[in-house]
């Protein structure tokens, strides 16, 4: 029985048996490959590595899934606190 085929690859049964060790290594920044029938089937990486690989969410998706989307936020008085835009170039040349 081969415990590890090389430093970062595990056969499926060994990965199950030593999951805690496998996760510790992934958290340390060393991606771990799990083999099924000798072929790469999955990889375990740290959350930081996973987040870095994910594409950013589009702004529209973020806004549509915002908890404020369904809130009863009252914006009727927002205009009272609104300052109109200022043209900074105009301010400097005065």
For the chain, the domains span 4-52, 58-93
Residue 9 is predicted with a pLDDT of: 95
Spatial CB neighbours of 49, under 8 Å, sequence gap ≥ 6:
26, 29, 31
Question: What is the Cα–Cα distance from 19 to 7, expressed in whole angstroms?
Answer: 15
Average pLDDT in the 13-33 region? 96
**DSSP symbol at 45:** -
The yes/no answer on whether domain 4-52 falls in CATH 3.40.1620.10 is yes
What would the mean pLDDT of 15-24 be, rounded to a whole number? 97
Mean pLDDT of 74-81: 66
Higher pLDDT, 31 or 69: 31
Q: Residue 8 and residue 22: Cα distance in Å, rounded?
A: 9
């Amino acid at each position: 029985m081969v415990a590890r085929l090389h430093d970062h690859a595990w056969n499926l049964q060994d990965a199950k048996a030593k999951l805690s060790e496998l996760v510790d290594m992934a958290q340390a920044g060393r991606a771990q490959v799990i083999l099924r029938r000798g072929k790469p089937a999955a990889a375990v990486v740290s959350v930081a590595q996973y987040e870095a690989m994910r594409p950013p969410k589009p702004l529209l998706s973020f806004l549509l899934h915002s908890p404020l989307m369904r809130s009863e936020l009252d914006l009727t008085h927002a205009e009272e606190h609104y300052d109109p835009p200022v043209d900074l170039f105009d301010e400097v040349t005065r």
